Amino acid sequence: MTEMKLDAANLFLFPPSKSPHLLNPLVLAYIGDAVYEVYIRQYVISGANHRPNHLHKASTGFVSAKAQSKLLTALMPTLTDEEVDIVKRGRNAKSGTTAKNADVLEYRHSTAFECLIGYLYYTQSFERLKEILDFAITFNDKQK
Q: Supply the residues annotated as catalytic.
A: 33
Q: What is the CA radius of gyration of the chain?
A: 16
Query: Which SS3 state, helix, strand or coil, does residue 11 take?
Result: coil
Number of Cα atoms under 13 Å in the Cβ half of residue 67: 21
**What CA–CA distance (Å, rounded) separates 110 from 101?**
12
Q: What are phi and psi of 116, to 5 degrees?
A: -60, -45
**What CA–CA distance (Å, rounded) separates 109 from 73?**
8
